[in-house]
Amino acid sequence: MWGESCSQPSAGGVSSSAAVESKMSVLQMLPCSVSQLLSASKAGSDTFALADLEFNQVSVVGVVRKLAPFVKYIQYCVDDMTGPPLTVRQWVNTQVCTPPVVATPGTYVKVIGSLRSSTGERSLQAQHIRVITDLNEITSHILEVVQAHMQLFRKRFDVNMNVTVVPRDDLSSIQSQVLHVIRGGSVRDIGVGYQELQSKLDFLSFRDIRSSLMSLMDKGFVFHTIDENHFKSTDH
């Protein structure tokens, strides 16, 4: 267990040229789920992007599955049940006599930090870790993630989370979410399979996903690849 990194697949996202070219303001804090962090595209040396909006700091809430103390940092595996556990590293300040508060396995924590990517693995460099004692905070964080997720796909925001641009491309919120997943997997020749879409968008119904796909194909955003159940975006 000690020194063992959380196993997780490398994220399928690629650098978002739209995010880089638009030179948009970087969101200073974004509540996220682990699955969003693993699927976010690389936008710069220290930034990632969701829906073409860059961010550098995120907040995540999950349960500690295991921890490994090292000389210079403590490594946690934090699981919010939306994807594989995420590696979180809390660096220890050796100049401070007071040891850091260690979150034991089985406790819920709120982590604020910066997403990092090294050798194909995503991890979170924690600026702050706090043990959650009021379980209402878990529900509150989930609602914050859902709200931010819906806003990102429907509107653009500045660093103060003020609306700067109205919805684009005449797409509904559901269509934008489906298109985002397809764009993330369009680097593969076969594109994204329907089962993968259902897995990543399990909060949407079969009918909503299927109707969104038909609409996206009609509007020229998506096309079939190897069969009727695999899709790719036209901008890749």
For residues 194 and 172, the model is more confident at: 194
Residue 163's pLDDT is 42
Q: How many domains does the chain have?
A: 2
Helices 136-154 and 173-185: crossing angle, nearest 10°? 90
Domain CATH for 173: 1.10.10.10
Q: Is the pLDDT of residue 206 over 80?
A: yes
Residue 151's pLDDT is 67
For residues 149 and 3, the model is more confident at: 149
At 215, which helix (H) or strand (E)?
A: helix 206-218
Same domain, 86 and 196: no
Residue 27's pLDDT is 53
User: Within a 10 A sphere around the Cβ of 188, how many other Cβ atoms?
Assistant: 14
- Under the banding of pLDDT at 50, 70 and 90, the label for residue 3 is very low
Residue range(s) defining the domain that contains residue 96: 17-135
Q: Is the pLDDT of residue 87 over 90?
A: yes
Residue range 177-199: mean pLDDT, rounded: 84
Cα-Cα end-to-end distance for the chain: 41
* Spatial distance between the Cα atoms of 164 and 181, rounded to a whole number of angstroms: 24
**Predicted TM-score (pTM) above 0.95:** no
State the average pLDDT for the chain.
Answer: 77
Same domain, 197 and 100: no
Specify if 220 maps to a domain: yes
Q: How does pLDDT run across 58-74, given as a tens digit for each residue?
A: 999 999 999 999 988 99
Closest among 184, 151, 154 to 167, alpha carbons compared? 154
